Structure 1
């Protein structure tokens, strides 16, 4: 009898452990390129509709004060995947095909954190953290990869006509744009018609991955190439929006989200899947009708104003996120690694990161306030601003403004250099558009935020004041001979 009881106890324990293992959440992150704060229906988009994203928000949660790690491609992606401000790990700006640097193998990525737990992992889309083999996704925690290694305008073709440009004529010296599968070039993108296929390719790969891995935990990262110029959209959506080509692209992105959600539902894993949608930075406004909307925020991509770095963020997870909630707390893309580690019982690196666990916010506990500040680093290592609570201090720096005539139809307009000579202070609760500098009225608040500035400069440096590096900067990866 005792043996029977022992066997029953062991059986019950085994089933409990198996249940706990199978309840580890799947994770999907869809990461869009150059989509602005105002480019989703529930964030105020006009001229096109995003019904799948709107439904995702209504059944989940959206954030109003969520920030990308930096307002530009490579740096933003580095922050998302490693939980670090990009300048901490040597990243600045966007990597180009001539660069021989990339993500350092010593940095733990989200994919590696999940892979250590036995998750299946995949990346389908734009990588942009180094194009040489040692920097590609399969060497940084992903089991599968299909995508382009950098931005789709880094090709030897015209972004307007798609025609091959002559060698010796700037862009004409770029190599062919590869579509990589695993570690090998599967084909090359040689025309605008090829660009039109990318969103569909990534979506189909994502669906297939879910279908093949639904019975065990998985992490799926879909960093879409669009809406970076040159814009590409399939015939399914070409001409469908009132806004034009950019609106068509946004509608196809929304379709992609819907297709992925359908695959989760079909495989009966929707309830236990953390599905996150966000973007890498704000809109590239000098491209006019081929650019998105900052939704009333100031400036756009590659600036440290709100339009450059405050982005849409939607999370859907029926098992863990209350439906229909809106979170106004501060959060940043660097918070995703520690948060997802906490939710999946994953292990973080011993190396210092900048992200904080915001899982309490996901659960609807808005009395929690895990992130107190945002550091607006940009350029090589320039600290252009700091947000603390509802206050943002803009530091003296030079930026390239969009406050001039934009281009259209794939042509980029000029930008103008603007110098901020004295610190400026903005109340983000009353003035999210950063129109009213109130520095003269709140000297105590200025002094309070300057304490954060000085601490950041000591840790990570600030070239605006001649500090090339701080005490905690690490090195970017370099090619090994």
Structure 2
């Protein structure tokens, strides 16, 4: 009894860095949503959407107020998360349309590749969206990037989240399924956990829900639970998030049942901000919220890149925390590798920083500023950089009519490689979360310092990125 009390006291005071790493390597469960907005969860202030399981998850660990995706749209965000590198370095410049030559190249080291080499079991379930030729030998697939088991779609669940027909399991088409995408993804994850042969091995599982990306469909009983919604599209969206929340709850319950809760680090986040209502024909259900943030998906303003972020590691990380430490998807690879005792490769530039210090209540030592690039950014704002409490936003000096939201087309990358940044805006982001006041005139020295760093990173990143179209 005394030992249990002593242990609990140690936990509440915060574990040391050495105890976090320790001799027992943790399991990793990374859950990624699609187009979930900063303001879409109860624990992030939503008064419209009920998310009891994620609210509970946040109460059990660290709720990040300054969590960022690696990009303001899907495919690049996933590339950045898996590689720890600014997505344009890897050639994932935009979302990947079916048949597009963009794919995560074979020589890119992913979290799964590195952990698998260290005897981790690896599993990917849900949306992949890192190639244009899905399940085709011409491009890399999930197993080429370290995943032992995969159950995935190229992009969205089709025809909708209900009864999708486009899942592939380990290279074989699954065909018609009954149920909703998030629950089918949770089913597969749970089945894999239960049937793992090497139970003594730690695991890395990457769960990528399609929700709440269009084309949205939700269970009737959950839609009916939102009678106050002003439009059917709102009720469908709210229910979609609630359905995803229930799938997260099932995963957490399974960790408890398998008695692996305590040794599993769980990270929950989103690939970018919420979709804009009616931006395209089928987006009439996209009622996501970026809360107090400026912009939405496709913006390098906060609404496009700042997302919900929750970290839980039962009895290793103190519960009930809220942290304003800036954290990005590119930080996941160095963090998980450090906690697993795996060396991070140095053959290519890494942009992320290990946030293992954050888990034990210490400050993160970031050696590079956070950086975002998207050539189709809304309002021709293509680049953002954050360092400490400050953020710059910039456009390029190329054509101002670059198509917004499109996949990569011939001729774009050469234009980018020949371009430079101009028209910098400066925000004191820790005090101006809504980016209402450009303070570039008041702080010229700060503007000069950050714009110079952004310009240099822009040139460096694009110099490395491949040209897909010859």
Q: Give the TM-score band, short-chain normalised.
A: 0.7 to 0.9
The 5 A counterparts of 1:245-260 are 245-260=236-251
SS of 2:370's equivalent in the other structure is strand
CA distance in 2, matches of 1:338, 1:90: 20
Cα gap change, 1:295 to 1:27, in 2 (>3 Å): same
1:91 lines up with 2:74 in the alignment? no
Cα gap change, 1:371 to 1:349, in 2 (>3 Å): closer
1:444 lines up with 2:449 in the alignment? no
Give, in angstroms, the shift of residue 326 of structure 1: 1.1
The answer to whether the Cα contact below 8 Å between 1:33 and 1:224 also exists between their aligned partners in 2 is: yes
Give, in angstroms, the shift of residue 373 of structure 1: 1.9
Give, in angstroms, the shift of residue 233 of structure 1: 2.2
Equivalent of residue 146 in structure 1, options 131, 151, 174: 151
Cα gap change, 1:123 to 1:236, in 2 (>3 Å): farther
1:185 lines up with 2:182 in the alignment? no
The 5 A counterparts of 1:42-441 are 42-130=43-131, 131=134, 132-133=136-137, 134-152=139-157, 178-187=166-175, 197-213=180-196, 214-235=199-220, 237-241=222-226, 242=229, 243-287=234-278, 289-351=285-347, 352-365=349-362, 367-370=363-366, 373-379=369-375, 383-397=382-396, 422-441=423-442
The answer to whether the Cα contact below 8 Å between 2:83 and 2:333 also exists between their aligned partners in 1 is: yes
Aligned length: 410
The answer to whether the Cα contact below 8 Å between 2:83 and 2:110 also exists between their aligned partners in 1 is: yes
Cα gap change, 1:178 to 1:401, in 2 (>3 Å): closer
CA RMSD of aligned residues (A): 2.9
Give, in angstroms, the shift of residue 440 of structure 1: 1.3
Cα gap change, 1:112 to 1:161, in 2 (>3 Å): closer
What residue is the counterpart of 1:171 in the other structure? none
TM-score (norm 2): 0.81
The answer to whether the Cα contact below 8 Å between 1:68 and 1:280 also exists between their aligned partners in 2 is: yes
Give, in angstroms, the shift of residue 119 of structure 1: 1.3
CA distance in 1, matches of 2:334, 2:86: 13
The 5 A counterparts of 1:24-43 are 24-43=25-44
Give, in angstroms, the shift of residue 257 of structure 1: 0.9
Give, in angstroms, the shift of residue 215 of structure 1: 4.4
Give, in angstroms, the shift of residue 99 of structure 1: 1.3
SS of 2:272's equivalent in the other structure is coil
CA distance in 1, matches of 2:74, 2:106: 19
Higher-Rg member (1/2): 1
Give, in angstroms, the shift of residue 474 of structure 1: 4.2
Greater shift, 100-109 or 247-256, is seen at 100-109
Give, in angstroms, the shift of residue 401 of structure 1: 12
CA distance in 1, matches of 2:449, 2:127: 40
CA distance in 2, matches of 1:259, 1:401: 40
CA distance in 2, matches of 1:319, 1:452: 40
TM-score (norm 1): 0.79
The answer to whether the Cα contact below 8 Å between 1:109 and 1:140 also exists between their aligned partners in 2 is: yes
CA distance in 1, matches of 2:467, 2:223: 40
